[in-house]
Structure 1
Amino acid sequence: MDFKAINGGQETLCIKVNKVYDWVTRQVDVPLLAFDRGDLGATLFFDCPGGITPTPGSDDPCAILGGNYTVECFPSDEDGNPIDPLAPGAILCTEIPQPEGRASGQFQLPDGSTVVLQKVKVLKKGFIVIRVTNPAGEVCTSLPIPWAVSEKFFLCAPPGTFLQCEITDFECDANLICRPLATPGTFEFQQLDISINLCQNVQMEALVKLEITADFCQPRTDMPFVCPPLAFPPQCPTVFPGVGPVPTP
């Protein structure tokens, strides 16, 4: 939009904004989530169509779907509904309070100078769901599986600053191993490994008031709406209106 300043409208303004004190990006690999057969029905639960469920959600996807399957992994909320992991607040990212506050330390910069930074501990946690599908279209879906990872950052984070965290990329991969049994064509769950990788922006911010000199602006000129001229179909003046009878060909 073409905003223009109002002539003579410049003045000193006081505005309230979030000031960024420090900002880093980092990839984080969540510790591998590994499940064996003893976890099925104990800490890992699947819901399959027509499954035998002595314990609710303890279906064996290998026994029900067979040895030919595809596996997908997607982020979810605590109820198992798919979510956009990049949406604000979709994945919890919060600072871990430290009893003695953020510890400070001196660090040497590449140019030889030193800087004082604070240690900030950050917790990220969420849920993922595993979906297993065979060629017949039968699906086994896990109950939401929780994951969490904590990290420490050394940042310019003086008292009064707060953590602002943004997830910029999310990747989840799952590998399911089904063990064949003595009876041909039958399988049982052996192992499930899940890897999660994140990319993140981590910022330390504080709400500050700034004095700036600026111009007021006004909206651009609106585009006028002009009605189009009336259009009439082309005439046949040699035929109508005429001055006499139409000649016979």
Structure 2
Amino acid sequence: MTSTLSARASKRSTRKFLEPSAIAEAIAIERHIVLAGYQALTHYSSTFGLTEHLVREIDDAARRHQAIVSQLRRMHADALAAESISSAHKEALAALGLLEPSRAEAVGVTPPRPVQVCHIIQSHPGRLGDPASRAIVSLAFLLVAVHALTDPTNCGTASPSLNLVPPPLHRDRALLEKVLVHAVAAFDEASTTELTGYICEASASFAGWSTETQRGLSVLRYNPHSLRSSCRSVGLGEVDARIVG
């Protein structure tokens, strides 16, 4: 009986931690997909038929995510301080821009799958001279990202210990729905088809990444159901069956 109670007490007292690698992945997604996506929307607002008021909302969202990245960096530093860091790990972090160059040499590391896929699509020779097409890619990946990421800086504890489930990015989801309403109205059939195709590719990359990162705690909770609902609500129902997950 005593041993059983001790085991239960031990389980209750065990604190789970968000690993530095999981925080680093979140930072990469925030920087290369979320912030890059919002930047594309403001730079090509006319392409998406966005109003000045909506652009201001996008600017506010970008500032909010810049603050999230700053907080994630502090959380990352806390997490690193809590464990012994090997020189190889430091090199990987430096390559992601998470350490000053003077503290470690940059070496090649593999970014999260969605970042890789987005980069590959945008780097296609046929899109290099077409910034509007690359902006559509950015919008598609941004849309899927806000249905995959959570905000661990807004869960009552901005520390490496993640004992509370971080909330989804509800404000961003609502904003992207408004953006898509304008974009769908402004697009011709070819652009709409292009957007839905990229949404499907983005969903596949996040679904695959979600499977790969099922270790320990993560800021990733890819939700294909909410993604489908958002697409249907803005008139992109044809993409429903092709969204992965």
Q: TM-score, normalised by structure 2?
A: 0.18
Tell me which protein shows more strand as a share of its residues: 1
Q: TM-score, normalised by structure 1?
A: 0.18
Tell me which protein shows more helix as a share of its residues: 2
